[in-house]
Structure 1
C-alpha cells in the first residue's frame, strides 16, 4: 500500500508499505479518510517530536477490517473514529485522571503508524464506534473537535460570556460553532484572511475583525488564541475585560516567547488557561458532528492525493482550504 511517511525533519515522502496485521489487542482499520493537521507540519519540520519512519495521520476514520486476539468491544464491519492518544494507564498523571498528560504517552500518526494510508492497525481501546448515520469522512473531524471540546471544558463557560477567537482555521471555526451551540451571543472571529473571516460568519460569529481592528478597543470575557502564532498572544491578552480568561489552544513553536504583564493580571484578576489534546471527549465530539451543531460540510476543504498531501505537510504548493484531507474509500463520498 502507498503511505505518507515521515523520515526525518524536512523529509516526508510517499512510500510503499506492507498492509499491517492486527496484533493481540489491536484492530485493523480500512481507512475511509484522513485529515491533515498543523501538527503534521510541525512533525515534518522537526518542531514537534515524531518517530522517524512512521506513517503520518492522526485524524482518521474507517471500518474495522480485522480484530486481534482479545478484542471484544468492536467487531469487523464497525465504522469507527480513532482517538490517536494512547496513555499508559499507570503513571501518576494517568492515575490522577489526566491521561492526556501521560508521561509515557504514544500517539497514532506521531510515535506509531497513522492513517495517511489505506490501512492502519491501532490498539482497540482507541477505536470508537460512530453514531448511526455519521459518515466516516465527516468523522475525521472527531479528533480535532474532541480537543476543542476539552479546551472549552477547561474554561468553564457561563452564558453571556463575550468571546473572541484569534485564528480561524479548522480549530477556530469549530470553536465558533461550539460557542454558538452553547448559546453565546457575542462571538468575534479574528483573522488576517478575508476568506476565513467570511467562513466565521457562516459558522455563527456575530462579528468579524482583522487583527489590527481587534487591537482598537475590543473587550471580551474569553479570548481564545487558536492560531498558534505568538503575534496573537498580546492582542488577545490585552482584549481581556476584568475577570477575563485567555485560552491558549493554538500550537506555537517550542522556541516562541511572548510578553506578559503580571501587574495587569493582578489588577484585573485575569486567568490564562492552556489545553492539550482531548481526553475522554471523542464521544461528545462525534455527537456534535452527528447533530449538525458542528457542520462538517462547512469545515471540510480540499480533497488531496497522497502526493498533494506530502506537499501540504512540507508547506509546498498552493495554500489549501481547511480541512484538507485524503479520501481512501470513494464509497463514503457524498
Structure 2
C-alpha cells in the first residue's frame, strides 16, 4: 500500500467541502486500515455541516460506515469479540475510542471518555490522514473497537450499526422502559426508526411524532402503533392533546427525543405522564435554549436522562439485533438515496432538507 492513494472529503469550514488525496498509510502496531464500502449521513454530520458542532469546525466528515480490511498492524489478529481478523474481512468500528486511562474510563464510563475524539478531530493533513469515513479508506487506531460483520448482513444494513443503532440501544438500556409501557418517539429519522424497531420488538406500544409523511409511513413498517404528523397537527398543544387521547388521558410512560430540535424537548416534558421517563439524545448542540419549568418536572416526578455517545461494546449488540431481525424488518428502505464521493455536498443538503430518510456515500 506504500504507493496507494486515497481520497477524502475535507470540510474547510462549515458548508464548504473539497476532495483531497493522500497516501494510504501502513497500519501501526494494533491498528487497521479499512477500505470504506459505504458511509451514511447521520444527523451529527448535519450539525457539523451547519456549524453547530461544539468542537468540529473543519476537517474530515463521516462516521457511520462499513468496510473491508486491507491491512492489519502487528498484534491486531482478532476483533473485540475474539473473532479472528484477516485481510478481506468486512468490519464495523466506532468512530471514537476509549482511552482506558482518563477519569471517566477509569470509572467505567466508557461512553464519556475524555479522549474519545483524539483521532476523529484531527486534520486530514495529519498522518494517518483517514480519520473519518467520507473517504475511500479509514484508519482504525489501536484503542478503537472493531467487529466482524456476518456475511448475510448487507453493507446497507451493517453501516448503520455504528452509530445510529448502537446509540439507540445504549440509550434505551440506560432508561429501561418496561415491555408493557407506551413510549413516544420524537423524530422518525434514522435513530427514530431504529428506536421504533427496538421498542416494538421488545413489546412496547410506540407512538411516533414527525413532520415528514414518508418517514411516518416507514415508522409504521418498523412497528409504530400510532403516528402523529406535525404538518397535520402543527400546534404543540393539539399534539399534546392527541397523545393524551391515545394514552387514556395520562400521557406516555416514556419518551425519546431524537429530533435535534430544542422545542421538541420542551414539548416532550409536558406530554409525559406523571412519573414518566424522558430519554434525550437528539439535542446535542450547546448554545440553544428553551424555557424549562423545574417545578413542573418535580411536581410530576419526571426522570430526564441525557445520553452522549455509547459504550463501544454496544456495536456488537447492534450487530446481534440486526442478525436477529434481518428478515423481519424493511432495513433496505432505511437508506433511500446513495451518492458517489463526489456528491457528498448533495447528500448533506438533501438530508438537511429532509428530502431523504437517510443518504449513503459509496466511494
What TM-score results when the alignment is normalised by the length of structure 2?
Answer: 0.84
After TM superposition, give the deviation of residue 110 of structure 1 in Å.
4.3
Pairing 1:114–2:125 present: no
Structure 2 Cα separation of the partners of residues 257 and 318 of structure 1: 23
Given the alignment of the two structures, is residue 129 of structure 1 paired with residue 151 of structure 2, yes or no?
Answer: no
| C-alpha spacing 1:303/1:228, structure 2 compared with 1 (3 Å) | same
Gap regions ≥5 residues in structure 2: 1-5, 79-84, 124-130, 244-250
User: 1:43 maps to what in 2?
Assistant: 48
Relative to 1, partners in 2 of residues 1:94 and 1:182: Cα closer, same or farther, differing over 3 Å? same
**Corresponding position of 1:156:** 176
- CA apart distance, 1:244: 0.1
Matched residues in 2 for 1:256 and 1:241: separation?
26
Q: Distance in 1 between matches of 2:356 and 2:349?
A: 16
SS at match of 2:274: strand
Q: Secondary structure at the match of 2:133?
A: coil
Give the Å deviation of 1:136.
2.9
Which one of the candidate residues 288, 294, 310 is aligned to 2:345?
310
Q: Secondary structure at the match of 1:160?
A: coil
Distance in 2 of aligned mates of 1:127 and 1:135? 17
**In 1, Cα distance between equivalents of 2:323 and 2:150:** 7
Closer/same/farther in 2, CA of residues 190 and 276 from structure 1, 3 Å limit: same
What SS class does the counterpart of residue 43 from structure 1 fall into? Answer: helix
Q: Which deviates further from its counterpart, 239-248 or 131-140?
A: 131-140
Question: CA distance change for structure 1 residues 323 and 281 in 2, over 3 Å: closer, same or farther?
Answer: same
Q: CA 1:198 to 1:56, structure 2 compared with 1: closer, same or farther past 3 Å?
A: same
> Partner of 1:76 in structure 2?
87
Residues 43/107 of structure 1: CA separation in 2 closer, same or farther (3 Å cut): farther
2:289 paired with 1:257: yes
Q: Compared with structure 1, are the counterparts of its residues 123 and 198 closer, same or farther at alpha carbon in structure 2 (3 Å cutoff)?
A: same
Per-residue deviation at 1:158? 0.8
CA distance in 2, matches of 1:209, 1:25: 49
Aligned match of 1:210: 229
Could you tell me whether the CA contact under 8 Å between 1:50 and 1:111 is conserved in 2?
A: no
Q: Is 1:299–2:299 an aligned residue pair?
A: no
Q: Alignment partner of 1:311: what SS? A: helix
Aligned counterpart for 1:3 among listed residues 5, 8, 12: 8
Return the offset for 1:16: 2.4
In the superposition, relative to structure 1, how do residues 27 and 316 fare at CA in structure 2: closer, same or farther (>3 Å)? closer
CA shift, 1:70, in A, is: 2.3
Aligned to 1:140: 159
Q: Mind listing any 5+ residue stretches in structure 1 that lack a counterpart?
A: 329-334
Secondary structure in 2 matching 1:286: helix
Instruction: State the Cα deviation string for residues 207-250 of structure 1 (Å, max 9, x = none).
Output: 01134342225210111111010121122111111110111110
Q: Structure 1's 309 and 320: CA in aligned 2 closer, same or farther, altered over 3 A?
A: farther
- Pairing of 1:1-334 with structure 2 (within 5 A): 1-48=6-53, 49-50=55-56, 52-53=58-59, 55-73=60-78, 74-106=85-117, 109-111=120-122, 113-124=131-142, 125-143=144-162, 144-184=164-204, 186-211=205-230, 212=233, 213-218=238-243, 219-279=251-311, 280-292=313-325, 295-313=330-348, 319-328=354-363
Q: CA deviation at 1:17?
A: 2.7
Q: 1:302 to 1:315 in 2, by over 3 A?
A: closer
Answer whether contact 2:99 2:115 (CA < 8 A) is retained.
Answer: yes
Contact 2:336-2:359 at 8 Å conserved across structures:
yes
